[in-house]
Amino acid sequence: IVGMYPKECKEDRVVIRNVKRLIGKKYDSVDHTDDIKMYGAEAVKGKDGYCWFTLDDGNLYSCIDIASFIFAEIKTHADKLLDHVEAEAVISVPAYYNGVQRECIREAAIKAGWKVMHLVNEPTAAAVSYGGDNACRNTILVFDLGGGTLDVTILSLKDGIYRVESTYGDDSLGGNDF
């Protein structure tokens, strides 16, 4: 998840990036040595114990708030493409996300106006997107090396049905870590 500003914005604007690495994590559980380099600003400890950021308007925003801004922007574009048809969303999340992090993503999307039907691990979403022969019976390994994480999932595919056999992720490999 990356903060979004129009390209014509001045360079001195605060743009929060890599917030997906912090969402749902307590402030004290994270090393803040390189916050500015990693996230674009210093994280502060909110009253709830989670990471918050000060944006250009001087107000503090949680990682959920920042994610909801991004989901709102995506929804705006989707509404234009779908002519404002109410749509249900299935959202992919890093495989390593725990229950708290998944709930934070769900909350951010709902806050932005999405009707969230399900959350699915990113490698599983990639495998389903790729497709497969319905008559095929295979076990596949999916690597998702993305903008901030590495996720690996082993899926079995039998008669067009995917089953997650195992999944693992590393939130410190990908994106800025290259």
With cut-offs at 50, 70 and 90, classify the pLDDT of residue 60: very high
For 83-95, write each residue's pLDDT tens digit: 877 778 899 998 8
Q: Computed from CA positions of residues 5, 11, 15, 21, in that sequence, does the dihedral angle turn out positive or negative?
A: positive
**Higher per-residue confidence, 12 vs 124:** 124
Please give the backbone phi and psi of residue 26, each rounded to the nearest 5 degrees, phi first.
-70, 145
Per-residue pLDDT tens for 9-42? 555 678 888 888 899 999 999 999 999 988 999 9
Q: What pLDDT, on the 0 to 100 scale, is given for residue 133?
A: 55
> 129: pLDDT confidence band, cut at 50, 70 and 90?
confident
- The candidate with the shortest Cα–Cα distance to 111, out of 143, 78, 64, is 64
Residue 71 contacts residue 46 (beta carbons within 8 Å): no
pLDDT of residue 72: 93
- Residue with more model confidence, 145 or 67: 67
Token pair of 123, please? 């490698």
Lowest-pLDDT choice from 43-57, 73-87, 98-112: 73-87
- 1 has pLDDT over 50: no
The span from the CA of 30 to the CA of 25, in Å, is: 7
Q: Tell the residue number behind the tokens 């056999």, with chain if given.
A: 165
Higher pLDDT, 146 or 118: 118
Most confident option among 74-78, 116-120, 160-164: 116-120
Q: Per-residue pLDDT tens for 131-175?
A: 755 555 688 888 888 777 788 889 888 877 888 899 888 877 777
Please provide the average confidence, as pLDDT, over all residues in the chain. Answer: 85
